[in-house]
Amino acid sequence: MKASRYFFVLLLFIVAGTAFIQVNQPPTPLTFMVPQGWPQPVYDFKSNPLTQEGFELGKKLFYDGQLSRDGNFACASCHQQFGAFNNYDHNLSHGIDNQLTTRNAPSLQNLAWQSNFMWDGSIAHLDQQFIFPLTAKNEMGETVDSVIKKLSADTTYTRMFAQAFGNGNITGQKIGKALSQFMVMLVSSNSKYDKVKRGQASFNQSEALGYDIFKNKCSSCHTEPMFTDNSFRNTGMQLDYSLNDLGRMNVTKDTADFMKFRVPSLRNVQVTFPYGHDGRFYRLYDVMEHYRNNLVAVPNTDPLVKDKIPLTPYEIGRLTAFLNTLTDSSFLTNRMFVPDSFIISPSLMHTH
């Protein structure tokens, strides 16, 4: 009898032991590669170490409609890979209940080098960014608590949270960290431009001329290698009174920041149309027309553009050829950024 009790205790230890291993097996570290010649990223990897399991979880969350109230709006419905994770072909994105957002969804790429987020920089930390679209009435219309409830009822998720973060208890903080792990891995550094920089390709004559024009007229703001200096500038865009978007001034309440918007990266610009914070420019040509003809300077318009940027049609042609070398097709088609189970469903592909 005593022996069987020992046996029972031993059995208990074995069972508890295997459960212990399952939950506490450390996740597999994932290395973040800094492309050759690029600055060090600013994302705080120490407070959110990258792991294979965290990345996979973040990817699943990013493509999951359960993060929205009606189940139809995943992050990926407005951030589509073939548009460099912007909202391809949409000036303003469609959210829940047939509502429109008030801004153009930016591309998501090289976010580890960005220290604040949104067109006006209103969000300071990537790990907290998801709360905004998730709870916005015109985006996903959900609450974090309700999402936690839905995910906690799903054993695939509790297992994946356990594998990534040590236990299956789902919190908003962990959701944010997992989404960040997926999003910081969206590195685009393999365009023709990058290959030229690495000595693996060369520009043709048009592209080379375009690059010179770019360095003269554009790169003070769209600074290499990120093609943004992460500043906020007024480029003489006129206020759209129906949206009444004051840009950076919404955040700082300082009139000096009236209509200042983040300088967007121009990487993959060929596929990130429409352009501008509200998607008002449909073609690259329309952006060029803005810089050379249409901009209306106000007192805080940037000195670099306030007198307009002279551009001949010939120069526009060369510049466009150069900008097209920033297209990174390996980034736009990398299967690593799509869940294995993901089938492009019509409800996720909003078209006009």
271 binds ligand HEC (CB under 6 A): no
One-letter identity of residue 100: L
Cβ contact 277:102 at 8 Å:
no
Name which of 49, 184, 169, 36 is nearest 110 in CA terms. Answer: 184
233 binds ligand HEC (CB under 6 A): yes
Query: x/- contact string, 310-339, with ligand HEC (CB under 6 A)?
Result: ---------x--------------------
Cβ contact 339:63 at 8 Å:
yes
Tokens (6 digits) for 152:
């906690």
Name which of 184, 201, 57 is nearest 113 in CA terms. Answer: 184
User: Considering the complex, what minimum distance in angstroms separates the CB of residue 20 from ligand HEC?
Assistant: 33
d(CA 313, CA 288): 10
Cβ contact 74:342 at 8 Å:
no
Q: Which of 140, 147, 187, 226 binds ligand HEC (CB under 6 A)?
A: 140
User: Considering the complex, what minimum distance in angstroms separates the CB of residue 85 from ligand HEC?
Assistant: 8
User: Considering the complex, what minimum distance in angstroms separates the CB of residue 62 from ligand HEC?
Assistant: 6
For 19, residues 6+ apart whose C-beta sits below 8 A from its C-beta are none
User: Considering the complex, what minimum distance in angstroms separates the CB of residue 205 from ligand HEC?
Assistant: 19
Q: Which of 263, 271, 295, 321 binds ligand HEC (CB under 6 A)?
A: 263
Name which of 60, 55, 62, 59 is nearest 29 in CA terms. Answer: 55
291 binds ligand HEC (CB under 6 A): yes
Tokens (6 digits) for 140:
């996903």
Which residue, 11 or 97, has its beta carbon nearer to ligand HEC?
A: 97
User: Considering the complex, what minimum distance in angstroms separates the CB of residue 346 from ligand HEC?
Assistant: 16
Which of these segments, 111-119, 151-159, 190-198, 338-346, binds ligand HEC (CB under 6 A)? 111-119
80 binds ligand HEC (CB under 6 A): no
| 37 Rama sector, left if φ>0, alpha if ψ -120 to 50, beta otherwise | left
272 binds ligand HEC (CB under 6 A): yes
d(CA 311, CA 334): 36
Cβ contact 292:310 at 8 Å:
yes
User: Considering the complex, what minimum distance in angstroms separates the CB of residue 211 from ligand HEC?
Assistant: 11
For 344, residues 6+ apart whose C-beta sits below 8 A from its C-beta are none
Which residue, 130 or 157, has its beta carbon nearer to ligand HEC?
A: 130
Q: Which of residues 211-230 bind ligand HEC (CB under 6 A)?
A: 217-218, 220-222
Which of these segments, 10-18, 130-138, 194-202, 338-346, binds ligand HEC (CB under 6 A)? 130-138
Number of residues that bind ligand HEC (CB under 6 A): 50
Sign of the Cα torsion 204, 208, 209, 211 reads positive
Q: Which of 112, 284, 326, 332 binds ligand HEC (CB under 6 A)?
A: 284
The owner of tokens 């600013």 is 42
* CA of residue 149 relative to chain centroid, distance: 26
Which of these segments, 12-20, 30-38, 75-83, 146-154, binds ligand HEC (CB under 6 A)? 75-83
Tokens (6 digits) for 283:
């073609």
- Residue ranges binding ligand HEC (CB under 6 A): 67, 73, 75, 77-79, 93, 95, 101, 103, 105-106, 108, 114, 117-119, 129-130, 133-134, 139-140, 179, 183, 217-218, 220-222, 233, 235, 237, 261, 263-264, 266, 269, 272, 275-277, 284, 287, 291, 302, 304-305, 309, 319
